[in-house]
Structure 1
């Protein structure tokens, strides 16, 4: 790349690249206050490939879901590129497509832990014969 991004932040981005400066600023506010060099390079690549609007929406969605990483943002963008943009209920895509993930709901169907209650057991077996009589 011809961009020297070693010391770029939202305040030091080259003025001629306003889109990159905006993307870095949103990334700093939503994802990580001090982006790494690798993250800046990946931001630049995503900006070139997907455009400013899609990148900013992906950063917003990653922040909303609590998944604050550049890899997650890239995954969102790749998914949108393959399957189309999923924004069923609103500007930021926080609708049904952003519902709970299967890994988070898997525990809901587990059996509850067995809690032993000695008094309940005594009442249950109070009228039973031992069988040893």
Structure 2
């Protein structure tokens, strides 16, 4: 098994060495030794970093991502957690789609000024309410 030093892992994964040290501090990855002052990692760390990257892109916290690895560092994914996150992403996509459509309408509105657009007025009223969802029914 060829060990990779931290600079090799950073280069191959595209993850900064400072982030690698942070992930190790948080317990997401583990070095297996040192060569001089440089941390050494097994080649499996590259797969672990790919899972961390995907998890972050999906909106998982580092603590949630940490729970996606078993004690041996191999993936141990909770199907329930994944399904719940997929549902959260569906909700976010719905909200963002509605917001995008509203912004496009306001940009294309023929009202002389944006503030005169009835839909823009509704957007302003809805967004003034804390945690108010934007809907397609604007």
TM-score (ref. length: structure 1): 0.34
Indicate the structure (1 or 2) with the bigger Cα radius of gyration. 1
TM-score (ref. length: structure 2): 0.33
More strand, by proportion: 2
